[in-house]
Structure formats: C-alpha cells, structure tokens
Structure 1
Amino acid sequence: MYLKSLELQGFKSFPDKVKLDFGKGITAVVGPNGSGKSNIGDAVRWVLGEQSSKTLRGAKMEDVIFAGTQLRKPVGFASVTLNIVNDKGLLNIDAPEVSVTRKLYRSGESEYIINGSQVRLKDVTELFMDTGLGKDGYSIIGQGRVAEIVSSKSNERRDIFEEAAGISKFRYKKAEAQRRLTQAEDNILRLTDIISELESRVEPLRKQSEKAAQFIELSDEKKSLEITVWMHELDELRTRLNELGEKVLINATEYNNTETDIDRLEEEYRIVYKDIAAGNIRIENLNNAVLEEERSNTAIHSDIAVFKNDIEHCRKAIEDLEKQMESAKLSDSENRRLTEEKLEEIKRIEADILTTDREYSDAEREFAEAVGQQDGFEKEFSGHSEQLNKMYIRQSELNITVNTSDNMIKEAEEQKQAAEKQLETIVSGAQNLDSERKEVTDGLALLAEKRDEQTNRISGLNRLYASKTEKLKAAEKEQNDLTMSVREKEQKMRLLRDLENSMEGFGHAVKQVLSAGKNGRIRGIIGSVAQIISVPSEYSLAVETALGGALQNIVTENEDAAKRGIGLLKETKGGRATFLPITSVKGNRLNESGLDGCVGFVALGCDIVTYDPKFTGIVNSLLGRTVIAEDIDCAGNIAKKYGYRFRIVTLDGQVVNAGGSFTGGSANRSAGILTRKNEIEKLNGEVTDLTGKLDELKSRTASLRAETDKMRIDIEAANDDLRAMDQDKIRFESELKRIEQVAEQSVNGRKNAEETIARFEKRLSDIRAAAEKAGAELARLCQEISAAEEKSGEDKRIMDELKSRRDSLSSKMSDMKIKKTALEKDLEAVKESIKALEEQSRSIGDSSVRSAMAIEEQNRIIAEKNELIAKREKALESSGSRTEDIHRQISLTQAENLEKERQSVEIRQKIKVLTDDKEKLGAEKTRLEERRKTSQSAYDKIVSDMAEQYELYPSEAASLIIPDADKGEITARLNTIKQKIRNLGTVNLSAIEEYKEVSERYEFMSGQLSDINSSKRELEKLIDELTETMKTRFAESFKEINANFKRIFTELFGGGRAELVLTDPDEVLESGIEINVAPPGKVIKNLSLLSGGEQAFVAIAIYFAILKIKPAPFCILDEIEAALDDVNVSKYAHYLRNFTDTTQFITVTHRRGTMEEADVMYGVTMQEKGISRLLKMEQPPADIEAE
C-alpha cells in the first residue's frame, strides 16, 4: 500500500486545485520559509481526521480555508483528498484504490467521503487504526512531535509505542466495551428500581382486575336483558304508532278534501269577483276610449299642420344641394395638378436608390479584401506569441531556482542569527512561562464563572420546560374533551339517520308504498312530501303544523303510479294513503292585496320551503293558501282583517283556521319528521365545525409537543456543554502542570546555542555559487525576451491598423444601408400621397352623385307628406261613428255585472258550511297528533337510551334479544343484576388492561434484567481478554522496539549506548517509558542535558526503531532534521533510504542532504503574496548534484 496522490483545493495557501503525485521512494517538498510547504503535511493530517486547530497552526478550524489576499477573494470551502493504492488490503475496504476526502465549508458544515460515499469521522478513524496512519499515528512526524518524544513525561510517550504495537484498535474496543459496561450497570440499577415499583402494583391490580371482570360479566347480562325489554316495548309502541298513523291519515284525507272543496269554492268566488272587477274595468276603459277618440282628433289636426311645415323645409334643402354641386366641380381640377408633381418626385428618388446600391457593392468588395489581409497576419502573429510564451516559461523556472537560492541564503542567515539568539531566548523563556502561567490561571477563573452561568441557564430551562409541559397537558385535555364532544354528536347524528332511513314516524301504509317504490316494485313513486321539501329550522314547527298528516302524502310522477300504489295497499291490506300525482295536483297561491304589509306577516307557507320546481303544483296545493305569522296575536289580526278566509300558522305552531276557529297549545318538537331532518343537518354542521377546531387544536398540541421536545434537547445540550466545561477545567489544570515542568527543564539548555554557527558559514558559500550560475542564464534569456517583445509590439501595431481599416469599411457599409432605407421610406410616402389625391378626386365625384340623390329624396318626401295630409283628413270623418259604438258597449257591460254579484253571494254561503266541517276535523286531528307524539316520544326515548348506553340501534339490537323470554322473569332478573352491580361499588375497568400491561411489563423487565446481567458478564470477560491481548502485544513490540533502538542509536551516533525502560513493568499498559542514552564519550543523567541536535537524533532513532518492526505505508516528515548539522543530516537521509522498500516517504525540508537523497522534488514558491505554487522536478537540481 502506498500514497498515490494528494489533491488540495482552498486549503490554507492553496486556493486553486492542486494535485501532487507520489511514487515509491522519497519525495522532497522544498521551498523558502513562509512559502506554504508545511501546509502539505497539515493537509494530510487534516484529512486523516485532526480536530485540533492548534495542531494545524490555526486559532479556529475555519482558518484552514483560504482567507484571500489583496488580489484574490476568499474561497467558500477547503477540500483535501488522499488517493491510496490498497494493493495489499491493509485498509479494511474491498477496493484496489481508496479515496478519502474531507471538506469544510465556511458555514461550518463538514463532510467526510470514502470512495464517493459520505461517512462519519468515526469511520475514517477506524479505517486507519493500527496501520500507523491516522491523526494519532506515527505516519506524520513534525519538529514538535520529535521534541515531544524526548521532552514529554515518561507516561506521555505511550501513544506512538501503542500505535506501533498495534493495540490502538484493542484499546478503542476496550474503551467501547467499558462504556457499554457502564451503561449496562446504569441500566441494571434503573431496571431494579422499575421492577421493585412494578412488584408493589401487581397484586392490587390483580384484585381490581378480577372485580372489573365480574362487573363486565354482569354488565353484559344486564345489557342483554335490558335490550330484550326495550325491544318488546318498541314492538308495542310501533304497533300503537301504526294504528294512530292510520287514523291520522284518514283524518288528514278528510280534512284535506274539505279544505280542497273550500279552496275550490274560494277559487270560484275569486273568479266571479274577478269578473265583476273586470266588468268595472271594461266600463272604465270604454269611457277612456271616448276620451281617447277626442284626443285623437286633436292630434290629427296638429299632424296636418306639421306635414305642411315639413314640405316647406324640403324645398329649401333642394336649393342648398344645387349650390354644393357647383362648388365640387372647381376642386377636382386642382387635385389633378398635384398628382403630376408627385409622379416626378418618384422618378428622382428611384435614381438615388440605384446610385446607393452601386456604392454599397464597392465598399463590400474592399471590406472582403481587408478581412483576408487581417486573417493572414494573425497566423504569423500567433507563431511569434507561442515562441515568446516558451521563453517566459523558462524565465519562470530560472526565477524559481534563483528565488529558492536567495531564500535558502536568507534561511541559513536566519538560522545563524537564531543560534546566536537562542541563549537570549532561553533566558527570556522563563519570563514567558510566568505569562503563560497567568493566562492559564485566568482561564480557570473565567471557566468557573461561565460554569456558574451555565448552571443558572440550565435551571431556567428546567423551569420553562415545566411550564411548557403543563401547557401541553392542558392542550391534550382540551383535545380529549373536544374529541368526546364530536363523538357524542356523531353518535346522535347516526341515531337520527337510522330513524330517518327506517322511516320512523311514517304510517305503515306509507312505509310499504315507499319501500316498494325504492325496491322497484312500483314505478313512478318519488317519495313523501317530507322528503321533497327542505325547511329552515326556525320555520320547521310552523310547516309541520301546517302540513300535519300531509307530510306523509306520497308524491308520484303521474296518476297511474298513484293507482299502482293504491292497488298494492288493497292487495296487501296494508291500510290507506294519500297520493299526489305531479300531473294532476295543481294548487294555487293565495292572492290577497296588502298581505305582505301586515304586522307580523312572515311569508306564505309555499315561500319558506325549498323544493324542485317540478313540485310547485303540489307545494302550492298544500301550503299556497297558508300564511305564516310571527305569533298568535299577529295571526289573529291578519285573519280578522281578511274575514277569516284562509288559514294562518304561527312560528310556534298555533293555528287560526279559515272560518275563525283557533288551534294551539304546547308542541313536542322532537317527534317531528321535518324537525328530525333539520336536526341531522344541524348536527352535521356542528360536527364539521368541531372537527375543524379539533384539527387546529391538534396542530397546536403538536406544536407544543415539538417545543417541549426541542426544549428537552436544549437542556441535554446545555448539560453536555457543562460536562465539556468540566473537561476544559481538567485540560487547563494539565497545562498548568506542563508549564511547571518546562520551567524546571529550561535552565539546562543554554550551552546548545553556540555549536551551530560555523556550519552555516560554509552552507552560505555553497548556496551563493549555485545562485550565480542560474543568474547568468537568466540575464541572457531576459535579453532574448526583450527583443521578442519588441517584435511582438510591431506586429500588434500592424494588426491594429488592419482592424481599424476593416471597422471603417464596415461603418461605411452600415451608413449606406441606412441611406437606402430612408430613400425607400420617402418613395413609399410619395406613393401614399398620390393615393390620397386619387381618393379625394373620387370622393368629390361621389359627393356630386349623393347631392343629386338627396334632391330626389327631398322631392319624394314632399309627395309623401301630401299623401299623409289626405289620409288624416279621411280619419276625421270615421271617428264619429266609433264614438257611438263605444256608448252601446258600456250599457251592455253594466247589465252583466249585476248578474255576477248575485252569484258571489251564493258561493259565500257554501264556503261557511264547509268551514264549520273543517274545524271539527281539525280538532280531531289535533287529538290524534298529540296521542301519536306521546307514543313517538316514548319510542324515541328508548332508542336514545339504547344508543347512549350501548351504542346500538334497533336494527342492530334485534340479534341480541333473548328468544322466547317471559317479560316478567326478565324484569325480575334485571333487577337482581342491577343490585349485584351496585354491591360491587367503585370499579376500575381499566384495571384489566393495566394489570395485563403491568404483568407483561414486569415479566419483560425481569427478562431484560437477566439479559443485561448476562451482557455485563460477557463484557467483563471481553475487557479481560482485550487487556491480556494488549499486554502481550505491547510487551512483545516494546521488546523489539528496544532492541532496534539500541542498534540504530549506535549506528547513528557512532557508538554509545541506549535503551527504553518501562517505569512499571508489572503494569505495561499504564507504565511510563523512560529513555536512557549515553552518546560516545558522554555521561548523561537527563535528556534535557543533550543538545538540540542530539535530542532530535535520539527521537529519530526511536522513530526508525518503530518503523523497523511495523513500517507505516507512507510517512510525512516535516523538517524533523532541522536541528541536525550537515553530517548528521546526511546520516539521517542515507538511513532513511533503508526503509524505502516498505515505506514511502514525503519529506518537507530545506536541508541539502535530504534533497540529495530524494527521488522526486516539489518546489513550493509564493510569487504572489499569500498563494503557494508548485513546481515538480523528477531529478534533483543540477547544482545540488554537482556539489
């Protein structure tokens, strides 16, 4: 396995997409200080999952995104991709190549992608675990990491050794198992408490459950007994209602027949009265006709005078028209002259257009020649430009070499100055430590303050959460109440619809005919009167009272259908019914003048009901002569005013009958057929409204529930923040301990600063010689570029001249097009003028013709008026004879009116006799209706009780009747059952389900406790096994690393001795690691007594020892040899070559020895401030090889 390539975009100083390809062996990344070469190592560390912005040399994670320069805008995201060849399958993924990408957006969103699939950070970490890679592995080593290996405490050096031993994955599994073990122990405690609480509830619930079961058993028997009693009573009431219904129908038929006779006589009376009125009107009209004849004669005399005046006006108009015809002849000659002038102008414009076309053709030819010259020269200019670009590229390469040398000189001088100042830095370091110590102490104080604030915030959130929870409970209670209300209304509506569907309240005969019509046994049956009309609820009692038994009259399509219905009733002996055929029933509306102006008048009965227009005759026959009034007083006044000629019904059901009798009293609205129909519609509307409110309440409840859930999450997040603060406190305290340790070590480092100055003097001399050679070639190339640029300027001048000539010709051609367009528009305008003149000449000719026609018309009018005068004079003669005829008609009409008045008196006497009969039938009808309503109320109460108590309707309850049961025995048994139920006292019906639920939960929790105890034992066993495996692996690996370290140390230092020692050999997983070394000729008691270069070499030896036992697939070494002198750099670089068979190395360096050993080099420069550029060199530079 090896690193194939690295892709960066928007990461730190690399705003554009950059790709670095790596081969096996050693790749060196070189460049001056500040050029961004270390950003490549940071990119690899970042994509492997590094979460510390401080480790990545930033204040916050957003700092890794390119922040922009004075010339470049910031970018929106940073992206780094590692492409790894997984040929040996070290990575646990089934793919020959693995691509790992990390993206960070400026909004804070982050992505991890493996082979195109989005994953978690955890997945990336587990992928590289125990491979030596990863953010905590030893595949990325920088100067700081080298120093940590030597300077850290013995127990802080373990990470790199554990990764080498391959126990990181085991430690991760052990930590995961310990976390799960802690959760299991917490769950055991919680389950133990729950089981204890459930045990205390099981036995009481068992007793309550048995009591509830007994109650249910008794209630079921009570239900069966009660339903049996009720159904017997319903059968009795149904029989009684059918008998009463038959009587009501017979009475209603007689009443309606009487009322029909009265209506017929009143209709005859109205016809006679209408004839008398018509006779009086005729007499009046005849008198008016006499007056009209006199007025007509006066008008005729007036018309004759007007006609004579019109004849005089026509003669004057003829004189004016003759004068106009003479003036038109003069205007026609002027138009012919103007037309000739316009024709001459057309010839001139057409000549100008021909000239313009010739000039345009010449300009077009010259333009084509100019374009050809320009295209030829552009090809030659392109060749010169390509040659100049190649010179620029070479110049850029030389500049990189010179700049690199300059930077290397500057870097060496800076390192020399750094060595001179090192002693001063060490002395001042003690003072800086005091500042760091104060900063950490202040941080601890600030953290304590923030922790108090967070504690107060959590307390406030808990109070707010409690308030929201109370509101949620209230909303849920309101929702439950509203749901119960909807269910109650729906239940009542279902009951009423069941009554409606079963035609409760209708007579047996009516039910039989309607059912036969519905089943298709009788054709032409439409329905009852109650079914064809709709009444507003405020008028339903008045209409029910007005119609009475007529509500059950059956409406048919024709007389044949009515006959078929009567035949069915006769055949089945089903009783009697009244039929209303649409084709034969033609009722009339009451037509009394001034009725709508009476106080308390509401409307005619036929006007307050709605119905299909085809039923108009039937509705008028039943309600057309019935008036609806507000109350009994208003009804009495209206009846008295119109002589008690028609019936009046009040809104509360009182009646003033035709003839003067009154019917009234209390009314039971629940029994009405129309009332039931309106009640269904009302309940349906209420259910719809309540359902809408319920939906709103559900939405509000859901919103409150979401708010409480969010608040609970906020509280959990706040508690997480509090725990994070506790972790920060531990970190601050650790940092304070580290500062104290560094203060102890700084006193031993003074004498290391003076040893490196001489090395840098020789290094400066070598670098300057290489820079002079590159500078000479660069100067020669600059002269060649200057000459080429001068030639390029001359070519550009010629190109500009050719372009200018082409643009001039193009402009000229455009001007000629515009000129031609203008001439064509002028030509069109002149032609339009000629058309206008010709049109005007035609108009003058037409005017003369029209004048001649007008003269002829005036002469015709004169003749017509003379003829009208003759007719008017003849009409005067015939008017006298018509007046005598009218006087004869007046005398005849007066005699006819006297006969009609005699007939009206006879009709009124017959109406009075029939009205007395009708009042007697009305009283009988009221008595029968009251008896039927009482029975219907009892019937409805039983049905309602059955629905409310058992949610059953008679059609459903029939199957629950006890067969062949004696009513007395059932009643006695029912009383016994009720007493037993009372003796049970308070019963908790939910105890059955609750007991079942608690029992099941108790068994489930007990099983869960057993499972968790088993899991706990397995986890404890797993932890022990992991611990033993880790101990074995670590001990074996440590032994090998120690042996390799001893050998490599003597090879690198040329002698001496070294070893790694566990501070606590009995606890290898917790033991610290001491480093004991003695370079040749020295006795060292503490690593801090070594020079900086010696400490770095010791760390490098440990690193090589680790690579020896567990080579990482690839390693990134970021200037770890910076503190070494040239001799030791060469040793380090040559030794590095020993590992290239198993490990691929990418070294970030500016040391010559390392560069000489590299197979491939990448140069990093920063020609534009803030932006890094890459240059790849397959072989080391020639100047380095020569040296």
Structure 2
Amino acid sequence: MHLKSLTLKGFKSFASATTLKLEPGICAVVGPNGSGKSNVVDALAWVMGEQGAKTLRGAKMEDVIFAGTGDRKPLGRAEVTLTIDNSDGALPIDYSEVSVTRRMFRDGASEYEINGSKARLMDIQELLSDSGIGREMHVIVGQGRLAQILESKPEERRAFIEEAAGVLKHRRRKEKAQRKLVNMQANLDRLHDLTDELHKQLGPLARQADAAQKASAVQATIRTARVQLTAHNVMQLSRELEDTTSHARIAAEKAEQIKAELEEESEALSTTEEELRTALEEAEAAKNLWYRLSAVSEKNAATYRIAADRAQQAEASQWNGPDPQELIERAEQAEEEQLELEEAVDMARETLESLREDVHTKEEAARAAEREHLAQVRAIADRREGIVRLLAQHESAESRRHTLAAELERLSATTDEHHEALQAIAEELEEARDAHVDNSAQGRDLAERTAQAEREASGAEQRAEQLRAEQLQLERDIATDEATIAAWSERLTPSDGAAVALSAARDSGVEATALAESLHTTDGWGTAVAAVLGEAATSALVVNYTAEIIDTLAEAKQGRAVLIAPSDAPTYRLDATPAAGQWLLDHVRVPDNLLRPITALLVDVVAVDTAEQARSVVADDARLRAVTKEGTVYGPGWVASGSGAATPVELADRVEGLRGGVEKKKRQLADLQATLDGALEAANDLRTAVAAARAAEREYRAREDAATKRVQALDKQYEAARRQLERTQAQQANAEKRLQEASDELAELADRVARVDHEEREDEPSTAHRDAAAAELAQIKAMEVEAQLELRTAEQKAEATRGRAEGLRRQARQEEAARAQHEQARARRAAARTIAIAVRDQAQRVGQRIADALHRADDNRTLKDQSHKQWQSTMSQQRDRVSALSNQLQRLADASHQAELARTQAQVKIEQALNTAMEQLGMSAEQLLAEDLPEDFDAAATKAELKKAEKTLNSLGKVNPLALEEFKALEERYNFLAQQLDDVEQARRDLQDVIVDVDNTILQLFTDAWKEVEVEFPKVFATLFPGGAGRLVLTDPDDMLTTGIEVEARPPGKKVKRLSLLSGGEKSLTALAMLVAIFKARPSPFYVMDEVEAALDDVNLRRLIALFEELRKDSQLIVITHQKPTMDVANVLYGVTMRGDGVTRVISQRMVKADSPHGADANATA
C-alpha cells in the first residue's frame, strides 16, 4: 500500500488544480521558502481527517480555502483528493485503488467521499485506523512537531504508540460503554428509589393485612358462638312451648263447645289457605319463569355480540403482493438485459486485449529504446568500472531471476488452490440461499394467523375484563345497599315510648308492629308524609291497644307513643277539590285494615310541587293543609319547615326501595356471571390458539434465523476466499512482472558484457528515440486504462444484473405459493365468517322469540300477583273472624285463656329469637333448628368465649378489609421492580465486563507495541548517536493502561539525561529516534516529514538519511527538504515554486540512479 496521487483544488496557495503523482520510495518536495511546500503536508493531514485549525497553521478551518491575491479572486471552496494504491489489500475495502476526497465551503459545510461516494468523517478515520493512521497523525511530522514531541507530557507521548498499535478504535468503544454506564446509573437510582419507597409501604400494609386476617378469624368465631347460643335458646324455648301446649290442650278439652263453633270458620280458613298456597305457587312459578327468560335473553344477547364480532373480524383482506406474471416478465427482461451486458463485456474485453497487445508492443519498443540508451550511457561508465563489476551484476541478476521464477511457481499453485476453494464455497452458498428462500415462503401465513388469533383473543379478554368489572361493581353496589338496609333497619326498631308500648303489648299477648313497617309511599313522597304525620311518623305502633298497655306506657315515663288500632270500617274523602296538586293519600300504600286510621290522619293534606301552589291551596280552602315533596307543610296562617334526622317512615320507604333494587341487581349479577363464564371460556380457548400460533411462528423464526446465519457465514467465507484469491493473483502478477524485469535486466547485462570490449568511447547519446517511444507508450497506456474502466463498468453492470432473473423467477414462485396459502386462509376465514353470520342471525331470531315470551311471562306474573293479593285479603278477613271467636272462647274459659296466653308468650319468644337470628346471623328458622350442638355444649363457657372474641375484635380497632388485596398488588409490583432492578444491574455488569475486555485488548496491544518500540529505540538512537545511549521508560509500569512514557537520552561524551539540556540538533535527533522506533515496531504504509533535518549538520544528516533508506524498504516517505543529500537519495523530486501571482505550482522529476553525473533522467513533468 502506498500513496499514488494527491490532487489539490483551492487549498491554501494551490488555487489551480494540481496533481502530485507519488511513487513508492522516497519522494522529496523541494522549493524556496514560502512557496507552499508545507501546504502539501497540511493537505495530506486535512484530507485524512485532521480537525484542528492550529495544526493546519490557521486560526479557523476556513483558512484552508484559497484567500485570493492581487490578480486572482478568492475561491469558494477547497478540495483535496488522495488516491491510495490498495493492491495488497491493506485497507479493509474491496478496491485495489482507494480515493479519499474532502471538500470544504466558505459557509463551513464539509463533504467527504470515498471512491466518489458520500461518506462520514468517522468512515474515513476508521478506514485508515487499521493501517496505523489515527487522529494523532504520528505518520505526519510537520514543522515544530519534533520539539512538541519532546516537550509533551509523558501521557501525550503514549498516544503515538497507541495510534501505531491500532488502539484508537478500542478506546472509542470503551468511551461509548462508559457513557452508557453513566446514563444507566440514572435509571438505576430511580429504580432504587422506587423499590425503597415500595418497601417502606409494604411494612404497614402487611400489618393491616395481618389485622384484617385476624379480624376475619375472630368474626368467624363470634358468628359460631352466636349461632350456637341462639340455637340453644330456641331449643329451650321450644321445650317451654311444648309444656304450655300441653296445658292448652287440657284447657281445650274443657271448651269443646266453643271449638265446635269454630270448626266451620276453621274449615273455611283452611280452604282459603289452600287456595292462597296455590296462588302463591303460581305467582312464584310465573316469577321464576320471568327470571329464567330474562337470563336466557341476556345469554342470547351475548352470543349475538360474539358472533357479530367474529363475523366482522373474519372478513378476508385482499392480497396486495406483486403479480407473479409481472415478475416473470421482469425476469425475461432481466435476461435480455443480461445478454446485452455480457455482449458489451465481451466487446470491451476484446478491445482491452487488443490494446494490451499494443501496450505490450509499445512497452517492448520503449524498453528496447531505454535499454539501447542506457547501454550507450552505461557502456561509457562500464569502461571506467571494469568488467569485474559488470560480471558481478550479471551473476546477481541471474540469481534473482531464478529466485523469482521459484516464487512465481509457488504463487501459481496457491492461486489454483484458492480458485478451487472459491468455487466450492460458491456452490454451497447457492444451495444455502435456495433453501433459505424456500423456508421463508411459510412466514407470511404464520404471521397473519398469529395476528388474527391475537386480535380475537384480545377482544375476548377485553370483553371478559369488561364483564368482570361490571360484576365487581354490581357486587360492591349490592354489598353497599345491604349494609345500608341493615343500618336503616336497626333504626326502624321502636325506641323510647314506642318501645315500652311494644314490650307491654307482647307481654299481654297482643300482636303489635311499627307503623313504618306497613306504610309505604310512591314517587318519593316519604319525606312529605313523615312531615305531616309528625310524632306518629316516629313513634306510631299498629296494635289493638288495651287499657293495660296505655297504663304501662304512662307509668314508664320514657316518652310518648301513638297507638293506631286496625279497622275494617270503610274509608272516606273530603268533598273538596284542591286548587292545585293532588291528595297526599294518593301517594300512600297501606294494608286494608289501616286505610281508615291513615285516612283520618291525612285526609285533609294536598301534595303540591311548589310553595306558590301550597299557598294557593290553603288560601282557597282553610280546611286543607298542603305539603311539598321536600317536607314543608302549609296551613291557614302557618307553615312548618326545616330538616332533621330521617323518620322511620322515611327509612322504611327507603329500605323497601333499596330491597327492590338489591333483588334486581342480584338477578343481573346471576345473568352476568353466566355471561362472564362463557366469555372466560372463549378467551381461554382463543389464548390457547394464540399460544399454538406463536409456537409455530417461533419454530419458523428459529429455522429462518439458522438459514440466515448460514447464508451470512457462507457470504463471509466467500468474500474472504475471493479477497484471498485476488491478493494471490495480484502477488502472482507482481511476481510475473518482477520476473520479466529481472529477465530483461539479465539480458541487458549479458549484452553489455558482450559489447563492453568492442565499443569505443562516444559522446553523450541522444534521448530523442527513447522519448518518442515513451510518449507513444504513455498514450497507449492511457487508452488501456480507459478500456479497463469501460470493461470494469460493463462487468459491474453485468454482475449487478447477474442472477436477478433467477431471483425474480424464484420470487414469482414464492408469490404464487404465498397467494395459494392466502387463498386457503381466506377460504378458512370465509367459512368461519359464514358460521358466525349464521349464529348471529339465529341468535337474532331466537332473541325476538325470547322477547315475546318474556312479555307474555311479565303479563302472567302481574296477573298471578293480583290473584295472590286477593286471596291474602280473603284469608285476612277469615282470620279476623276466627280471632273473634277465639276471643269469645277465651272469655268463656279462663283456664283455657291462661294456657293459650302462656303458649302465645312462648311462641313470641321463639319468634323473637328467630328474628334475631335472621337479622344478626342471616339464618332462617330451618337453618337454625338444623344446627347440631356439641354433646358437651356449655352455654356459660360459650358466652365467655363470645365476650373474649368481641373484646379481641374491639382491640384490633378499625380494620381495612381491602388490605389483603392491596398488599398482594403492592407486593407484586415490588417483586416486578426488584426483577427490573436485577436486570439493570446485570446490564451494568455486562458493560463493565465489556470495559474490562476492551482494557485487556488495549493493554495487550499497547504492551506488545511498547515492548517492540522499547527494543527498537536504543538501536535507532545508537544509529543516530554512535557511542551514545538512550531508552524509553514507563512512568508507571504497574498501570499499563494509563502510564506515560519518559525519554532518556545521553549523547556520546555527555552525562546529562535531561532533555532540556540537549542542543537543538540533539533534540531533533532524539525525537526522530522515538518516531523511527515506532515506525519500525509498527510500520505504516507511508510517512510525511516536513524539514525534520533542518537543524542537523552534515554528519547527523547522513545518519538520518541512512534511516530513511531503511524505512523506504517497507514504506513510502514524503520528505519536505532543503538538503541536497536528502534529494540525492530520493526516487522522485517535486519542485514547488510560487510566482508573483501567489499561486503554487509543482514540477516533478523522476530520479534514476547512475554511476555518472549524466545518468539521471532529465525529464520533468509539470
């Protein structure tokens, strides 16, 4: 690898386009001061990515653009193109010649190109970094750089070795990983904060959950104790009832005559009860039928929705892939285009072969002319040197020719081996690509089926979640309503005077109930009725009161009570017509036996909507009162308003409304549970289908990844084999060229040996014939290069289209297969859609029939309820008559009366116990009596246990019933965040491992390079300072990643080691010794040195030139110099000059070694 040419356009003093054609070896750039020699060095640094304006000897980057002179205007851009010969493949790019271009405009915009293609600065830096050329540019030694090297810090000197060792890209990777670590730390701190906060919340919530769990256990213990105590109490009361019943039977025997009178009424009552039971069963059957039909209607509606969704989701999508026929036509067009391109390639190849023959002829003629001219020139020199030296050259040339012939034979065999390996890999790669293409045809259908299954499963899950949310809301509403009913029901229990009257009535064996239990209102008029009733709304009892009850109430002095006696007397209404509103009695519902007393209390009250209507009613008829729905009562000249606690009448009305709502919500909950079960089952089935589809898709992706990796691996093997073959072929061509040159040289030496003794001394030979042959050769070579470019272009176009026809046909086959699979999937979706539509239509028809049946069932339920109420009324009347006869029986037989009274008291106690069980424990009489008590049941111990449990429950305080669920949810989130924290910690450890690996790589690369540089530096220093000693020392050998490098130098005859005490020339030589040591340890393709020998005397200059000659064996040197000895060893001289217009121009001179002053090539190329 070497620099082939450098083209400058508008860069600094190069206003015109100037091209320096560089050659291997030493290229010397000479010229007067200020002519622009160093601008060549700046151009090389700039095009290779230099970003520092000061490094380029400017204040800002725009200073590199030609600023203009008195005769020429400034330019708008600067452009430098560097062409690199990459025939040895040193650069990681598949081109034998690499062109790097950098362009800058006045507005600061920059462009980069690699072989004419747009590129980034990073792309250029990474392309050159593998060759040991980095951002430190240690291969470019500019003016003042030597002093900078010695004056720099030890850590800065380390950068030169790192750059030569190729450490730069590893450091960039390490810096990138460190930036990721810094960014990751913020996320890690956030996760730590979140987990700490959740951990703080978990403790108190866990204690609440534990308290809730304990409270639940204690409540279960309390319920068990209460159930057992209530059951035990009922059993004792039952035994007392049996005893009193026995006494009543004895008394009944004495009252046979009275019983005979009761038989007729009893038989009638029995008949009525039988009819009532029948009516009740029919009403319950009608009600149950209506409930079942409602549930079926809801389920049918759910079925209709699911079928409609599936019918809509199953609509087939249209295939939007390319047309196979169109692909086949494109394949045929590609084949025709391929044939045309191959014909163009053949024509270009024939033209190139013809030109190559002409080039070969011209080269032979040029070489013959050159040999003839050199023979004439050297014949004169040979006479001076003698025949002995000429014979030695002849023997050396013959030995070199034999060596090159053996090398060419070896390279030919290697080329054949690489060619065979490349063919084998190409065949295997084609098979792998075909298998990969066949396998990928199944992917689209699998992805479509998976997506369809996921959409259906997602819809089903959303439906189930929606139903679950509705179910949860209903359960919460029911629980809230039941708790409200329980709280309001407790407030319905009579208190104060009403409680005393109720107790007295029960003690007397008289049935008594609170008025609130029998009085109900409609349309929200409960508050108004309570306001009108006043004291009766709070403390009214429905009871056949006696003097004993009234006396007891008066003696208790615990408050007043309103006693209302049932009556079957006909009701009445006022003959007045209110001016507005309607009678309040129209909004009241009570049993028939309470119509008369309630009418007496409310007959003069009118229900109105507004205060104006109330005042109008009262003003129109002074006998009337008016009340609004808010409870404001108006009378003639007075008004009663305000608010207070809800009365039992209002509470009873609210309880009745809530109970109806609870029953309705429970029916909705049952229907919703059935719908939810169906939705969950459907969601589970669909999720199973999704899992199966995903498993199939994962299996396909695994096969696809394996096939892709195999193709990629074979691609890499093919490219590696192809590059190896090209390198070997290039080496073979180079060997053939070198062998031809050695053969020509041998023939020339043999001719010289034969002619040396016969030729006489002549004057200097003419170069006209040689120059004419060289010009013809240059012209034909230019034509050859143009033909090569045309052939390369044609081959690239043919290569680009090669295989495209087969690929299009393969794509057409894949498309046909995909269309077939799509049609099959579409047929399946169409069948599913047909079934879903049929189910939807059937569900719609069934839904209509269910709606009709539901309407008929509702009418039948209403009819049966009316019949049941009528029989209830009849039975109530008959019971009243039987009760009257029983009262007569009691008055006729005192003994029987006392026995019956005792029996009634026992029954009341049992009923109270049963009511208590129902209210407090939610257990019916059958459930309570079915409770099995332990044989060793101890009521006192159970009571003690109950008190202890209640005390424990009270000690727990307020318990959060949702604490368990909240604790589980919070614990799940904490575990999730903890897992995320572990993942981030693992990622950080992985990045730290990457940094450690990069550090190890950097350490290894730097250590190896350092050891070699450390060995080379004393040798180079001894060459530049014979008798002197120098070495490189690490500032911190224990830390090879950050250690700096100190330079110790002791010139001969001096004992000092401090660099500051050295002379200017010694400093320059010491710095050069360090650079050359690096160059030898890690050779670079080229080096640029700008007047590095300016401070050296003739002796030290010769020593430095000897190093230059060693370096040019492996590398190309571009030297800016004023020294003639340096010019003498150069292969090419570039003369840089600047005229009065301030524009730099370049003239080149190829130098040819000769043994006489007249042996140099005097031709100059501008």
TM range (shorter): 0.3 to 0.5
Instruction: Normalising by structure 2, report the TM-score.
Output: 0.34
